[in-house]
Amino acid sequence: MVSHNSSPPSQSAEPSAEPPRVIAYDPALKFFIRSLILFYFVTSVVSLLPHSPLEQRLKSVLQPTERALGLTQNWRLFSPELRQINYYPVAVITFADGSTKLYEFPRLEKMSLSERFRRQKLCKLFQDSLPWSDFHYFWPYAARYVARANTDPENQPQMVALAYAWVKGLDFRHYVKQGNLPEPNRLYTFFVYRVTAEDLK
Amino acid sequence: MTFRDLLAKLDNWFFKPRSPVPLALFRILVGLLLLQTVLVHHVPDWHLYYSDNAFLPRQAIMAHWWQFDPIIDFLALLPAGDTWKIGFFAVLVVAALFMTVGFLTPYAVPIVFLMLLSINKHFPYNWNGGDSMMQLALFLLAFGRSGDALSLDNLIRSAKDDWRKVGFEPVHSPPWVQRMLQLQLALAYLDTFLWKATGSKWIDGSALYYALRLREYIKLPLPPLLDTPLFMRVGSWMTLIIEFALCTFIWFKDVRYYVLLSGLLLHLGIDYCINLPVFEWMFLSMYVLFIEPEDLSKFWRHVTAKIEQLFGPPRRLTFDGHCLLCVRGTGIFHRMDIFGRYEFVDFRRADNRDRLKDLDFERAEREMMVETEEGWQGGFKAFRIISRSMPLLWFLLPLLYLPLISFIGERIYGLIAENRYLLLGRCDDTSCSLHATAYGAENCLAKSGSASASEEGEPA
């Protein structure tokens, strides 16, 4: 706790001003800590290196430990470049009778301030991950999730197309106020999945 | 300077013992941010991320994300069923609470780190930079002595000491963990600065325009007066300058606080405009690691002085300096009294007599007394008054105002007070000789079996 001294020490029972107790390390512990410092520092720097043959070589050695301990880091948010489009992911579901339905993944911009604050982690999943090619392994799982969320015993989903609605037009030279941003008006389909009976179980 | 000198200086920087208060303060802030992360941000969509029917099945994550790397994920070891996973999160919340209040800190911090790591590995697609920084910080904190100050651990440990002799300054230890965290923060700023500096939009000053137009990130609308090309340009360049300063000039003591202030304004500005909960605050919480312990004390003295101006001078609280239980109990109150609302007066000391003329000494013999506007109050009632004026004891208030609690409390207090010398014994020889007074000298002398008079505070 923060100590305080609000009255003359001679009168109230204030603690004496003895020097604080000190903990020192023995040489073996110091050696271990120095090794740890070196390991952490090297791991961090390698984790942050830009892509290069040297980085690949170093990562092949360090990455298993780094990933196991969760020491991977990158601080590239909004850099080096920023995207110039706005988009949001959707799914187009085609049912057995041929009808289609547009399924919107949760959209933060449609939520109230408190809800989009609480549920901001959705942004990472649906906005920053789902539409991008790094995520392609998981597209079939995402499509199955959407299919299961839209089952209808009378009219089951047969196909799920993952897409994003987008709009170009962010250009600093043609300044648009934040409140006048255009709505996404184009659709780009990046994955189509044929739903099986197994998927709906 | 030789290379050897440089290594020696570096060694000194990492290992010369210093106060653990900044690290302890950081532990509290990280604990609170972790609680926010779990309770506020994980809970609303918990089923989507972690349940048996999650958006991505566990097997898919294992096959495509983990691949062949060794991974620590205790969640994956749990039997099927959401109940176990909910239990896991409940344990994490408890561990985070323990970490925040500093209870069993050496165990709580590593446990929290491993559990957070498990959550990350189990579902990495809801993870942002704030979570990453928190995980890195917890890894380092797990090796540190952050429980040596501002903690229940320290309170319990120090309750055994006579605070009048050892004081309240926490044990000093090598600050290498604090140094590593400082380096980590500077490294993050350096990395983000270098990446931004290689991008054309940050250099031409348009970056802020694009960042503030990504719909999913907008938190609060920009005030119309600031939504101008000029502000976007100045904002973009200022971001670069401040981030550069935060990895370079921050190491110079004479300009450090200006750099931290500019960083604070930058992050508050981002937090106003951009919806990235925890991220900004995680970075800001690391700023306390750059504040000198003496400056933290100075700042706190300023706060207590302001509180004194607002609420008046501290009230007197008397205790029996010959009773070990009373001294230890008062020591705990002294530590809990973070705003300095009480002046702890040993009524046994002769030099305190003049200041306690209005005190009923016979009653003070029986119970702890506290000065109030209505005069001196004692026993359970005093305890209730003290709890009211110490924010760290507010959690007790609902209990202290239950029906009949006053009656029961007085009885229990009376019982303990009557037997206080039996419970922990009387003061030892040293403290008797230090604090013997007319009121208690005869008892002390009887206990020590010595006929010599006390050296200080002779009987009045």
Whether the predicted pLDDT of B162 surpasses 90: no
Say which DSSP state B18 is in.
B
Give me the pLDDT at residue B135, please: 96
- Angstrom CA distances, B166 to A3, A136, B35, B175, B317, stand at 12, 63, 34, 22, 20
Give me the pLDDT at residue B438, please: 34
CA gap A124, A137 in Å, rounded:
17
B281, B130 Cβ separation under 8 angstroms: yes
Hey, what's the torsion of the CAs at B110, B112, B118, B124, to 10 degrees? -120
Give chain B's mean pLDDT: 86
H-helix segments, B123-175: 129-141, 152-158, 163-166
Which ipTM value was assigned to this complex? 0.88
Q: Which residue has the higher pLDDT, B428 or A41?
A: A41
Mind listing the pLDDT tens digit for each residue in B82-107? 999 999 999 999 999 999 999 999 99
Q: Could you tell me the pLDDT band of residue B70, with boundaries at 50, 70 and 90?
A: confident
A75, B129 Cβ separation under 8 angstroms: yes
Q: Which residue has the higher pLDDT, B39 or A3?
A: B39
B377, B370 Cβ separation under 8 angstroms: yes
CA gap B297, B168 in Å, rounded:
12
Q: Which letter, b or e, does each residue of B388-411 get, where b requires 16 or more Cβ atoms within 10 Å of its Cβ?
A: ebbebbeeeeeebeeeeeeeebbe
Give chain A's mean pLDDT: 88
Give me the pLDDT at residue A14, please: 59
**Which of A7, A116, A138 minimises the CB distance to B343?**
A7
User: What is the strand order of the sheet B342-346 is part of?
Assistant: B342-346, B315-319, B369-372, B375-378
Mind listing the pLDDT tens digit for each residue in A64-74? 888 899 999 99
Q: Could you tell me the pLDDT band of residue B423, with boundaries at 50, 70 and 90?
A: low
Binding-face residues of B in 176-205 toward A, CB within 8 A? 176, 180, 183-184, 187-189, 191-192, 195-196, 198-202, 204
**Which of B195, B221, B227 minimises the CB distance to A76?**
B195
Mean pLDDT of B217-241: 94
Mean pLDDT of B378-397: 88
How big is chain A by its Cα radius of gyration, in Å? 28
CA gap B94, B97 in Å, rounded:
5
Q: Which residue has the higher pLDDT, B351 or B234?
A: B234
Distance from CA of A99 to the nearest CA of B (A): 25
Mind listing the pLDDT tens digit for each residue in B245-276? 999 999 999 999 999 999 999 999 999 999 99
**Which of B218, B316, B340 minimises the CB distance to A109?**
B218
Q: Element (H or E) spanning A88, and its range?
A: strand A86-95
Whether the predicted pLDDT of A8 surpasses 80: no
First-to-last C-alpha distance (Å) of chain A: 57
Mind listing the pLDDT tens digit for each residue in A123-177? 999 999 999 998 999 999 999 999 999 999 899 999 999 999 999 878 899 999 9
Name beta bridge partners: A187.
A165
Check if B453 contacts A (Cβ < 8 Å). no
Question: Which two tokens mark B342?
Answer: 């009480």
CA gap B286, A121 in Å, rounded:
22
Give me the pLDDT at residue A101, please: 95
Question: Which two tokens mark B181?
Answer: 């965290």
Minimum Cα–Cα distance from B349: chain A residue: A11
Check if A113 contacts B (Cβ < 8 Å). yes
Distance from CA of A91 to the nearest CA of B (A): 14
Give me the pLDDT at residue B457, please: 35
Q: Which residues, 6+ apart, have CB-to-CB distance to A174 below 8 Å? A: none
Q: Could you tell me the pLDDT band of residue B405, with boundaries at 50, 70 and 90?
A: confident
Whether the predicted pLDDT of B441 surpasses 50: no
CA B306 and chain centroid, separation = 21
Mind listing the pLDDT tens digit for each residue in A94-118? 999 999 999 999 999 999 999 999 9
B34, B108 Cβ separation under 8 angstroms: no
pLDDT above 70 covers a percentage of chain B that reads 91
pLDDT above 90 covers a percentage of chain B that reads 57
